[in-house]
Structure 1
Amino acid sequence: MVHIPDDADFNSFREQCESLESWRVQYNKGGVTVWNQEQEESKSVQKLKMRIVCKDVSAETIYDVLHDTPYRKKWDTNMIETYDIGRLTVNADVGYYSWKCPSPLKNRDFITLRSWLPLGNDYMIINYSVKHPKYPPRKDFVRAVSLQTGYLIKASGPSSCILYYLTQVDPRGSLPKWVVNKVSQFVAPKAMKKIYKAGLKYTEWKRKHNPEFKPWVYPEQNTLPSVDLADLAIQHAHELENIDESGVSEEKMHISDEEDGYSKEA
């Protein structure tokens, strides 16, 4: 049954982000820490948690960065396409996101129900995968499943914060062990640094791009069509195609070494 996250869901998410029990450190340097937590019922669907210390960027700014879709196209070089499908409440919507997987793996996409909550000086954004009748799986992507993904942004001062990212995703494919290791050692830390760098440049960018428009802060600005919760269903992984990519060799894998991926265009 699809439901819009409530206070209990947000509190549970916050506790997972802040807890160290049963989490193993995979990476820790340059202000970025990555932990993982394997799930007993499915060794392929591990939980990954990251934390980065963001100096000179407020929690509110990072929150805006993560919401502002036009700006995401500037810094999220892994993204192929993203758009909002419709709104459920003043702080919940349904959206589409597709991202480039390193060649020769197939690209993935999601339909997710996303909800957000400002709590004093802290902010949370969480999502999970749903099915929408008008957006079935596409032939050119592997439809992946977000069991739970989200951000916790904790203010540590007026212009500094700590960003947590926690994700448990079923990629719908038997991936080689080295891919999982590469994600925690290389891809994840790099992604966190990209968000931080995007935060440093956001205020200047937003000043030139519809500065008053923030529908995630001002719900009255939201012009998305309404989505009926009854039209949505939980996206179960077993209903989707499962591809076997376990034979992909590390030598054939191509991962970009761009420094930060931030587009220099205004």
Structure 2
Amino acid sequence: MVSPAPCSRSWSISEDSLKRYVQFASESCIQELLSASDSNRGIGINNGNDGWKVLTLENGVEISKRRSGNGSFHTFRSRWLLRSVSPQQFITVANAIDAAKQWDSDLVEARYIKDLDDNLSIIRLKFGDNSKPLFRNREFIVYERRETMEDGTLVVAVASLPKEIAAGLQPKQNNAIRGLLLQSGWVVERLDGDSCMVTYVVQLDPAGWMPKCFVNRLNNKLVMIIENLKKLAQACPIDGDT
């Protein structure tokens, strides 16, 4: 059972210190995402050295998981070959808020708390009482960092701030349970033609009293939202995109 002690401490830090911390933490997340995408490895191929185990492979869509060595929650990954969708189109919906809307329709609040840089923001996600068990009455304080790599690959890293820092920025309200998005994000790679390869990774700890096996089973479904995001992207074409 998962029963972390409630966080009663909060840290008040300067904006410069917060920015430095988030840049450092997000850089690690970006490297993890790039490693998970591994464009040199084909979809559906198990590589025993990288820890990923393919769970399903159908119609060019791979769902995989990686066990955490410290007994934490599994990390789940989906890899999709999207045809007739450019990286620039898909990246418009590859963000923390649009993903949260697909996770659960009872997202009652999604707002930017602070912009630390042009590509670096702090966001609050709040789910209501009618949400699915994984998100019911839960909130997440996350950073979102967007980067374009030298080869044109687009990366979006999203993860929770440490509880003490989050409490200093945004005190927990009412009886909400503050969960942790341990790591998540997208890697969007351009392919020949107007297509792209999208890798999406999620590792989530909802906190509260919930068996890990139940959480892992539900986490598996979180990486299956790319089809819905693809439809959103196709509905918002970008002028001049090729």
Given that residues 147 and 155 in structure 2 are in contact (C-alpha distance below 8 angstroms), is that contact kept between their aligned partners in structure 1? yes
1:15 lines up with 2:49 in the alignment: no
SS in 2 for 1:111: strand
Separation in structure 1 between the aligned mates of residue 115 and residue 189 of structure 2, nearest angstrom: 26
Unaligned runs of 5+ in 2: 1-17, 42-46
1:154 lines up with 2:189 in the alignment: yes
Separation in structure 2 between the aligned mates of residue 173 and residue 29 of structure 1, nearest angstrom: 34
Separation in structure 2 between the aligned mates of residue 129 and residue 61 of structure 1, nearest angstrom: 26
State the partner residue of 2:61. Answer: 32
**TM-aligned CA deviation for residue 145 of structure 1:** 0.8
Of 90, 100, 110, 2:140 maps to 110
How many pairs does the alignment contain?
Answer: 201
Unaligned runs of 5+ in 1: 208-266
Change (3 A) 1:171 1:196: same
Residue type at the aligned position of 2:217: N
Q: What TM-score comes out, normalization by structure 1 length?
A: 0.65
Residue type at the aligned position of 2:139: D
Given that residues 58 and 157 in structure 1 are in contact (C-alpha distance below 8 angstroms), is that contact kept between their aligned partners in structure 2? no
Separation in structure 2 between the aligned mates of residue 139 and residue 85 of structure 1, nearest angstrom: 18
What is the CA deviation profile of residues 117-147 of structure 1, one whole-angstrom value per residue up to 9, with x for unaligned ones?
Answer: 0124310010221215241223343211122
**TM-aligned CA deviation for residue 150 of structure 1:** 1.0
Percent pairwise identity? 16
Residue type at the aligned position of 2:227: K
1:55 lines up with 2:79 in the alignment: no
Superposition map of 1:187-198 within 5 A: 187-189=222-224, 191-198=225-232
Given that residues 104 and 132 in structure 2 are in contact (C-alpha distance below 8 angstroms), is that contact kept between their aligned partners in structure 1? no
Given that residues 57 and 199 in structure 1 are in contact (C-alpha distance below 8 angstroms), is that contact kept between their aligned partners in structure 2? yes
Given that residues 65 and 202 in structure 1 are in contact (C-alpha distance below 8 angstroms), is that contact kept between their aligned partners in structure 2? no
Superposition map of 1:155-234 within 5 A: 155-176=190-211, 177-184=213-220, 186-189=221-224, 191-203=225-237
State the partner residue of 1:260. Answer: none
Given that residues 204 and 219 in structure 2 are in contact (C-alpha distance below 8 angstroms), is that contact kept between their aligned partners in structure 1? no
1:135 lines up with 2:154 in the alignment: no
- Aligned alpha-carbon RMSD (Å): 3.0
Q: What TM-score comes out, normalization by structure 2 length?
A: 0.70
